[in-house]
Structures are given as structure tokens and as C-alpha cells.
Amino acid sequence: MSFDNLMQHAYEIQQQATLKALTESGARPAAPAGKPQPAPRHGEQETRHRVEQMFGDIPELFQAFAEMPDPAAFDGHRSKLDKSLSELSSGWVSDDPVSGRTYRANHDLDEMLDAESHIESWTGRAAMEFKSNFISPFPSIVYNQFMGIAVLRAALDAEREIWVRARDDIDKIAHDTITALDRMDDCGKNEWVMTFTVVSSVAAVAGVALAPVSFGLSLGLTAVGATSQVAAAGVPDDPPTVRFQGETAQAVVASMRDAIRLLHGYIAEQEQKIANALTSCCQAVAQQRDSFVAKRPALADATQSDVTGPLFMGYST
């Protein structure tokens, strides 16, 4: 049974539950369209209508899951972030702190450090500020940008992992329900166990440290990642195992509804973990913007009349 056939399974559950419930009620199912209908018995039509209404919502319950994001749709975005990490990989740090992936150093970044020797004869305020605001903090700013992108990459992995596991879980709910309806006439208790794997899809990661660019304590970034990919995650939540049972079609479908309701809640909990981590990261970046973006160049305030003066280009030779 695969996720691609989820809605087919939903209609199968609806049809099978309806037939079982009609049999339990002593009513006959209606003949297929175009076939002669059996002579009606007293109350039979009302029973059919009641049973059909009882299970009429089943396709809708599964429809929301059939429209879940496709995990493959995340691949393009992950590739773009991988490209950004490769461009920001300085050699001082080339490992993603969340997943442990290694990115080859981009040696173009080394040219900034070589720039200082080319401007030794440049004097004036702009020269001093260029050295202090651009050359000196450049390694730390690149490091922090790398870490910020790594946190985003990990969050994207975590989001993808939610939908991978949610697909498996809803598919198993459908499979278990069909099996339970098939086993209703067997001897013994009709019960089954569901493990909600989506609960362990997102793992918390120890705070990602940032490099201080100016005086003062540099805050870290809160990160989450996909449990299957993080290099040093905290202990993930154990996936809960829930026992369901049902001796009638109505009871089996009621257990299915409970399982779907739980799955909705567990998905929302995992989504909230990611939202909380990214909200915290946005706040940290906003509080220490200078750790990620170099200050405004002094030359940006120069005019044609004073650009060559001591405040700006100085006495460069």
C-alpha cells in the first residue's frame, strides 16, 4: 500500500465500512446503478441513508493528507542553500554544525585578506574604517553567515522529514483500518497498534555559536534538524504507540478518526518546533545585525567635492 493511492484507500474504507455496517444492521446494500433494486424492506432505505451519512466524511478526512507537501519539492531549495554554503565556506569553518556535511573551501574569500597589503598607502577616515569595518571582521562575518545558512538548511531538512514521516503514518492508518474491517468476523479481539513516527522527525540541536564581530557577547542561534540527519542532536521524542480496537464497523472507523486526529496534532507540534527555532534565530540576527552584515562604508557619504579629502579617499598614492 503506497501513499500515492491514499484516496483510493479512503474510498475503499468508506465502501467496506458501509457494507459491514449494513450487514450488522440487517439491511441490504443498494444495487449498483443500472441494476434492478431489490424489493424494499421496512426501514431498509432509512438504514442505508443513516449508514451512508455515518461514513460520508471518510474521503474528506484523508484529502488533507493527500495534499501534503511532496518531500521531493524541497530538493531544489536544499540545493540552493548548499550552493550558498559552498560560497561561504572559508576553510576556517567548512562543516555544517548541524548535519556535519563538509563543504569545500571557497578560496575567493581569501582575496579579502590579501586586500590589506594593497591599501597600505591609503590614509584618512575611510581607509581606517575600511580596515576596521571590512577587513578585520570579514572572517567572523563570513563565519556567521555560514552558520545562519546552515541553520536554515537544517530547518528545511526538518520540515521535509515531517512530511516523509507523516506520509508513512497516514498510509499505515489507512492500511490498519482496512485490515481491521477485514478481521471483524474473526475470533478474538479486533485490535491494532499505531506508532506515530512523525513525533520523532524533528530534533533539537545544541545552540550554534557565532563569532563576535564587535565588543560584547555574541548570541548563538537555536537550531533544529531532521532526526535522521543531524550530527549531534538532543534525544528525540519517542514516537508514541497507541492501541486501537473495534468490534463493529462504526467502532473501527471511530478508532481511525482518533488516529487521524492524533496525527494532525503531532504534525502541528513538530511544525511548532521549527517555527520556534526560526523565530528565535530571526530575533538573534536582528539583535546583532553587525555580526552578519558589514557596516555602511564611509565612502557612501562622500560627494564629488570631498571624496578625495582626508575624510574619505585621503591621501592615497
In whole angstroms, what separates CA 109 from the centre of its chain?
31
Secondary structure E strands in the chain = 191-195, 202-208, 221-226, 241-245
For residue 304, tell me if it sits in a domain.
no
In a domain, 26, yes or no: no
Per-residue model confidence as pLDDT tens digits over 258-301: 999 999 999 999 999 999 999 998 998 888 888 898 888 777 78
Give residue-wise pLDDT tens across range 175-188. 999 999 999 888 77
Q: At residue 122, does pLDDT exceed 80?
A: no
d(CA 1, CA 4): 9
Residue 303 lies in a domain: no
Q: Is residue 164 part of a domain?
A: yes
In a domain, 62, yes or no: no
Q: Total structural domains in the chain?
A: 1
Long-range contacts of 185-189 (CB under 8 A, 24+ apart): 189/245, 189/247
Residue 278 has what pLDDT? 92
Measured CA to CA, the distance from residue 307 to residue 298 in angstroms comes to 10
User: What mean pLDDT do residues 15-41 have?
Assistant: 77
pLDDT for residue 106? 87
| In-domain check, residue 253 | yes
Q: Residue 270 corresponds to which cell in the numbers above?
A: 513538530
79 to 83, 85, 216: CA distances (angstroms): 6, 10, 35
Range of the structural domain that residue 263 is part of? 72-118+138-293
Residue 241 lies in a domain: yes
Whether residue 286 lies inside any domain: the answer is: yes
Q: How far is 276 from 282, CA to CA, in rounded Å?
A: 10
Write down the pLDDT at residue 94.
64
